[in-house]
Amino acid sequence: MSKKVLIISTSLRKGGNSETLAIEFAKGAKEAGHSVEMVCLHDKTIGFCTGCLVCQETQRCVIHDDADVIARKMLTAEVIAFATPIYFYEMSGQMKAMLDRSNPLFPADYAFRDIYLLASAAEEEERAMDGAIKGLQGWIDCFDKTSLKSVVRSIGVTDVGDIEGNPALGQAYELGKTL
């Protein structure tokens, strides 16, 4: 059965390692027959949540920037994959800001059930992703019908292109194929 898949690449570095993971995940998902849309935050305007909570009544953010548009896409996606570089053992600030700005989804009839994390880090140990996983899990825990299905961890990649030949690329592709 074809699923509606949204991939949110949160790196501000165009063509970076986490974005390359996202592209491979997308290839696998498309080959499996899913409807795939990829959004890259490197060219988007994402303001910070002001905590006004108007969105809990209106299901829309009062800040009309790209985050509001992306949150609307998240609402109807059945699968969401977040791709992030790991900064100081945590998700990128752009990803955290986007998660915060998805607050209008909390009271909504959201479609997403399966969440994936595609992460890349300069660090050589897989535990470098633990903070990002914990942060994403906190967001997921607010959505009763949703769960973290899998994490792809690409370690030891710093500069753009370092990910080439990394086993995580194949893992991301195969994961996309098995949605």
Q: How much is the pLDDT for 85?
A: 98
The arithmetic mean of pLDDT across residues 65-82, rounded, is 98
In which residue are the tokens 């974005």 written? 19
Sorted by where each begins, the domain ranges of the chain are 4-177
Residue 44: which H helix or E strand, with range? none
Q: How much is the pLDDT for 8?
A: 98
- As a whole number of angstroms, the distance between CA 9 and CA 81 comes to 8
Q: What is the mean pLDDT of the chain?
A: 97
- As a whole number of angstroms, the distance between CA 73 and CA 64 comes to 14
Name the band, by pLDDT with cuts 50, 70 and 90, for residue 78.
very high
Q: For the segment 166-178, what is each residue's pLDDT rounded down to a tens digit?
A: 999 999 999 999 9
Q: For the segment 112-165, what is each residue's pLDDT rounded down to a tens digit?
A: 999 999 999 999 999 999 999 999 999 999 999 999 999 999 999 999 999 999
Q: For the segment 93-102, what is each residue's pLDDT rounded down to a tens digit?
A: 999 999 999 9
Question: Has this prediction a pTM greater than 0.85?
Answer: yes
Q: How much is the pLDDT for 6?
A: 98
In which residue are the tokens 């752009």 written? 94
- Which CATH class for the 4-177 domain? alpha beta
Q: How far is CA 160 from CA 12, 18, 98, 170, in A?
A: 12, 9, 23, 18
Name the band, by pLDDT with cuts 50, 70 and 90, for residue 38.
very high
